[in-house]
Amino acid sequence: MGRKDKRWILQRKKDFYYNLAKKQKYRSRATFKLFQLNEKFRFMKEGDIVVDLGCAPGGWLQAAREIVGDRGFVVGVDLQSVKPLPYDNVKTIKGDMTKEETIQKIREILYPAKPTVVISDASPNISGVWDVDHARSIELTTIALKIATQLLKERGNFVVKVFQGDMFMDYVSLVEKYFEKVYPTKPRASRKESSEVYVVAKRYTGKPWEEEEPIKKEEKIEEQIGTEELLAKKIKEMRKLKANK
C-alpha cells in the first residue's frame, strides 16, 4: 500500500459523514447528500415514484426509500449488481442506462405509472485528467437528463451530480429548457475539495427531448486510437459547437 492510499484511508476514517453512515447502517456517505438536498429543495416526498440512475452501492436508494415511505416506489439502475434492500417497494435493475432495453425495463416495472422524480449520483470513470473527467461527466449527465425527459411525469423533478468545469453553465442552460426551476447547489456532505456540484431541476414541462447527441460514440475510431485521445477530440468538438452557438 502506497503513501497516497494510506493517507486516503486515514482521511476517510476521520470523515464525519463516512462514520455517521457506518453508524446508521447506510451504504454510502452520499446518503446524507440526498437528505440534505431534499431538505432544502423539497423535490421528493412521501408516496413519490423514484428512478435512481447509477444507484450502486445503494446509498441513494436507502435515502429515497426513507423519504417516499411505504406508499412510494423506488427503482434503481446500475451496471453493477446492487445488494437488495429489504423492502417490497424497492427494485433494482442490473443494466446500462444508456440502452433502450434498460429504459424499457424501468417502464415495465412501473407500468402504468410514471416516475415523479429521477435522481442520479452517478460518476464517470475517473482518469485524473480534468478536461477528460469534466467531459465525461457532461456526457453522462446529459444522458441522465434525456432519460428524465423520456420517463418523468409532467411537473416531475430531476436531480443530478455534475463535475464543475467550463461546460457546466451550458449544461445548466440545457436543463432549463426542460424544467421550470433549476438550482445549482452543493450540499454540506460534499467534500470541500470535491469538484462535484448538484443540479436540482423542478417541474418538468413535458417538453420532449430535442437535442442532438453532444458526443457521438464512434466505435470504429475507438478501435483505432486510444480512449484518452478520443475523449480529447470529443472535448474539442464540444467546445467548437459551444463557440459557434
Catalytic residue list:
161
Cα maximum dimension of the chain: 53
H-helix or E-strand containing 143? helix 130-151
Cα gap 39→196, rounded to integer Å: 19
Which of 194, 189, 152 minimizes the C-alpha distance to 37?
189
5 annotated binding-site participant: no
The C-alpha cell that represents 137 in the structure block:
461527466
121 annotated binding-site participant: yes
209 annotated binding-site participant: no
Query: With 0-12 CB in 10 A as exposed, 13-18 as middle and 19+ as buried, what is 18?
Result: middle
Cα gap 55→93, rounded to integer Å: 9
88 annotated binding-site participant: no
60 annotated binding-site participant: yes
Annotated binding residues, written as ranges, equal 58, 60, 78, 96, 121
Annotated binding residues for S-adenosyl-L-methionine, written as ranges, equal 58, 60, 78, 96, 121
